[in-house]
Amino acid sequence: GNSVTQMEGPVTLSEEAFLTINCTYTATGYPSLFWYVQYPGEGLQLLLKATKADDKGSNKGFEATYRKETTSFHLEKGSVQVSDSAVYFCALTLMRGSNYKLTFGKGTLLTVNP
Amino acid sequence: DADVTQTPRNRITKTGKRIMLECSQTKGHDRMYWYRQDPGLGLRLIYYSFDVKDINKGEISDGYSVSRQAQAKFSLSLESAIPNQTALYFCATSEIFGDEQFFGPGTRLTVL
């Protein structure tokens, strides 16, 4: 079946530090890949996505590149801010057949200190 | 106003009680979903709906039922609540399957 594995948290960084959250996946076929972010007390919202190999998704200074050869979609940001403190979820979905559903990783809690 | 709303936002109930969680959306999407979130487990799909006439079980549907009253409304019911159903519940919508999903703010349910 399909699965997503992301690095376990919590991750604690100082403001302006470099962020990487690793995400690897297992899927039959060619999935679309997503990063969702959940701020405290809120629902999930899409941060970025990539739909095919070598695509780079980017938003709010975050980036992730769809690497088919390593089945990875690592999230990076060059300089984090306190406001980036949240839980980050990597997810995948397949468009074909009945494999429509969004499969989530377990989430990674990021805390950024001033 | 929020595109996807959930009521109530918080609920405490007792074992054996019936409870309904409601979701409404103004995005005009046909696809709607119910998830539960548990610490360390991510989100797991309970039910999903293609449209008003088509409802399907997700990976953890036991103990839950749903009703799609209209395109904009999708309710989740716990017929007889038990403590291990204590969790954060999210409703979501999407325009098509496989695309971005839009989440509500969640309902925190505690079953004593």
Mean pLDDT, rounded, of chain A? 92
Q: Are strands B42-51 and B31-38 parallel, antiparallel or unpaired?
A: antiparallel
Interface test with A, best of B9, B45, B103 (most A CBs within 10 A): B103
User: Helix, strand, coil proportions of chain B in percent (round to 5)?
Assistant: 5, 60, 40
Which of B109, B9, B26, B18 is CA-nearest to residue B67? B18
Alpha-carbon distance of B48 to B62, in angstroms, equals: 14
| Residue A81 pLDDT greater than 70, yes or no | yes
Res B66: pLDDT: 97
Note whether A43 contacts B104, CB cutoff 8 Å.
yes
Mean pLDDT, range A32-59, rounded to an integer? 94
- List residues of A whose CB lies inside 8 A of any B CB: 32, 34, 41-46, 49, 89, 93-95, 100-102, 104-107
User: What is d(CA A68, CA B27) in angstroms, rounded to the nearest whole number?
Assistant: 33
Confidence of residue A99 (pLDDT cuts 50, 70, 90): very low
Report the pLDDT averaged over residues A1-21.
93
Chain A residues whose CB is inside 8 A of the B98 CB are 32, 93-95, 100
Share of chain A above pLDDT 70, in %: 95
- pLDDT for position A92: 92
More confident residue, B92 or A41: B92
Q: What is the pLDDT along chain B (112 residues), one digit of tens a residue?
A: 569 999 999 999 999 999 999 999 999 998 999 999 998 788 999 999 988 889 999 989 999 999 999 999 999 999 999 999 999 999 999 887 667 889 999 999 999 9
Q: B104, A94: Cβ pair inside 8 Å?
A: no
Average pLDDT over residues A81-107: 84
